[in-house]
Amino acid sequence: MNQVQHVKPRIPPRFCRLRPLQDEDRMISPSPPIPHLSDNSQDDYLYTLEDRRKHQHQAAARSQWTNHEGLGGLGGWDVNTRMGWLTTAGVLALVVPSLYMYTASIVSTRFPALRNKRICILIAHPDDEAMFFSPAVMALTRPGTGNHVKILCLSSGNADGLGETRKKELAKSGVILGLRKPDDVFVVDKPEFPDSMTATWDKAAIASLLRSAFAPNLARARSSNTPPTASIDVLITFDDGGVSSHPNHISLYHGAKAFVEDLVAGKPGWESPIDLYTLTTVPFVRKYTGIFDTLPTLLSWAVGAEKKDKKHPGGLVFLSGLGGQGSVTTAWKAMRQGHKSQMVWFRYGWITLSRYMYINDLRLVKIRRE
């Protein structure tokens, strides 16, 4: 028969410091998990009270992360929530562009549009047409619209001495965006219209320039009391916010408005031969929301744009596609290949995120008759 030998356990010195287990100690639960021990190794796993407190604290911390009924089921965060986020991101990546493209097709076919018009886009600097107006330029030059679009730029963008380069870049960009030929781009390079962040251009000087370009017979029409004619039907420029508050942009608004108002000034029965549309400046937070600004834009159009006059729609909305000719990729090409001198690092942020690369909304300016 085997003889069982009873061996008195060896008690480590630190255990000797323990007092008898008190009630408060029994409240500490659960006991720390003790791994399966061989008989002769138990001594190594005897715990002091401090050890137990420490393990209890760790166990509580662990349970917080694994308790689904506790702190919002953070235990599921690692796997379930992460999967939830991935699924949501995947659905958004599919649904949002699809919804946007569907909306863009509705807008291009059902919303008010300009057809068979002679249109001038009035800008302050080479690259304004691509960075701010590209959805409008591409939509208005689309084959089948019958429009003839030209760009008039009132400075060569010579602030950094690149004026001559930028003139060529503008012509190249304009053709990429859909203009018929480089000659449809005109650049005015005069000292009274300097490319400057601090210069406000004289609105009377702008109005005078526009008058000589598009309504040179105005004075004769007035003297003969016949309504004036013009060489364009539509003039498009910035609004009084200038998108970026650039004083050159804002000057264009005031100059263009003065020009169009002058066409019919003092003649209540006359109708302006030119419709002036301005590009809506949106608040800062909306500028960088890309296609997500579609809904606010459409709501603003639905609420604020006059729709009764079919010949002169009060609001125009243009949504660029996401791929192919005439889409935002064409606008990116106009910037990257057209305006090479301007493609510094932060411009990539603008052309990727800015809603103006995808969305344009224009408003018809009401003409004051005095």
Q: Residues interacting with Zn ion, by CB under 5 A? A: 124-125, 128
Shortest reach from residue 316's CB to Zn ion, in Å = 21
In angstroms, the Cα distances linking 233 to 117, 217, 273, 352 are 6, 15, 6, 32
**Toward Zn ion, which CB reaches closer, 279 or 305?**
279
Name the residue type at position 339. H
SS3 content of the chain, % helix, strand, coil (to 5): 50, 10, 40
Shortest reach from residue 345's CB to Zn ion, in Å = 18
Angle 260-133-293 from CA coordinates, rounded to 5°: 115
- For tokens 């690369």, the residue is 357
Burial pattern 19-53, b for ≥16 Cβ within 10 A else e, equals eeeeeeeeeeeeeeeeeeeeeeeeeeeebeeeeee
Kind and range of the H or E run holding 118: strand 118-123
Residues 175 and 129: beta-carbon distance below 8 Å: no
CA pair distance 135, 358, nearest whole angstrom: 6
Shortest reach from residue 343's CB to Zn ion, in Å = 15
**Toward Zn ion, which CB reaches closer, 273 or 338?**
338
**Toward Zn ion, which CB reaches closer, 180 or 190?**
190
Residue among 296, 279, 298 at smallest CA distance from 288:
296
Shortest reach from residue 195's CB to Zn ion, in Å = 8
Shortest reach from residue 91's CB to Zn ion, in Å = 38
CA pair distance 269, 163, nearest whole angstrom: 44
Residues 353 and 288: beta-carbon distance below 8 Å: yes
**Toward Zn ion, which CB reaches closer, 228 or 338?**
338
Shortest reach from residue 187's CB to Zn ion, in Å = 13
**Toward Zn ion, which CB reaches closer, 128 or 293?**
128
> Using CB atoms, what's the residue nearest to Zn ion?
125
**Toward Zn ion, which CB reaches closer, 242 or 315?**
242
**Toward Zn ion, which CB reaches closer, 218 or 279?**
279
Shortest reach from residue 237's CB to Zn ion, in Å = 11
